[in-house]
Amino acid sequence: MIATNSFKKGLTIVFEDELYTILDFLHVQMGRGSAVVRTKLKNIETGYVIEKTFKSGEKVEKAHLDNRQMQFLYKQDELYIFMDTETYEQMTLTEEYLGENIEYLKENDMINVLLYKGNPVGVELPVTVELKIVEAPPGVKGNTVSGATKPATLETGKVIQVPLFINEGDVVKVDTRTGEYMTRV
């Protein structure tokens, strides 16, 4: 159990028999009454965000998540097969479950899979990934002062904006949080 005074962003709790991640919280002192903690909670399974107010000092159950490093092996139809590198157990996740993360996955990549009571509840990608450019139109200099970009397609199929000097076959570093080009490798 954890007291509401110990809340922090990113903490995972069990509330009403469901897993929630704390997106934001605020301690509020009422005029004559006791303090409360206003929170924004995101349901891990459904993705819905709710607002909930807790009394200061109230206790909720902290979810103990198991963080396993897994290797992405291959894609079969709409299923993604991962392998635990320690036990060699395989786990299958769907496209719906992975969401936008599939735009950065290529075979043999390592990711962290969050498990709660043996069931996957989330995935964490590295902050940056290196991907090859498979399609990029030639850069055309125009009436730009600085920072000209063009669309380029990565090996995973995602399209990002890159500087004009990037060509097909180049390997670039991409930020997985924002989906933006960082640098050429």
User: Which domains are seen in the chain, by residue range?
Assistant: 2-62 (2.30.30.30), 66-124 (2.40.50.140), 128-184 (2.40.50.140)
Position 67 scores a pLDDT of 85
8-state DSSP, 112? E
The structure's pTM equals 0.68
> Vertex 20, ends 18 and 24: CA angle to 5°?
155
Q: Give the model confidence (pLDDT) of 39-51 as tens digits.
A: 999 888 777 889 9
Q: Are 128 and 173 in contact (CB under 8 A)?
A: yes
Give the neighbor-by-neighbor strand order of the sheet with 171-175. Answer: 159-163, 149-154, 128-135, 171-175, 181-184
Percentage with pLDDT > 90 across the chain: 16
Q: Give the model confidence (pLDDT) of 117-158 as tens digits.
A: 888 887 888 889 999 999 988 876 665 666 788 889 998 888
Q: Give the model confidence (pLDDT) of 67-80 as tens digits.
A: 889 999 988 888 88
Q: Give the pair of three-digit tokens for residue 13.
A: 């709790």
Residue 173 has pLDDT above 90, yes or no: yes
Q: Give the model confidence (pLDDT) of 7-23 as tens digits.
A: 888 788 988 888 888 88
Position 145 scores a pLDDT of 60
Rounded-to-integer distance, Cα 47 and Cα 161, Å: 28
Position 100 scores a pLDDT of 80
The whole-number average pLDDT for the span 79-104 is 86
Return the residue matching tokens 């902290």. Answer: 62
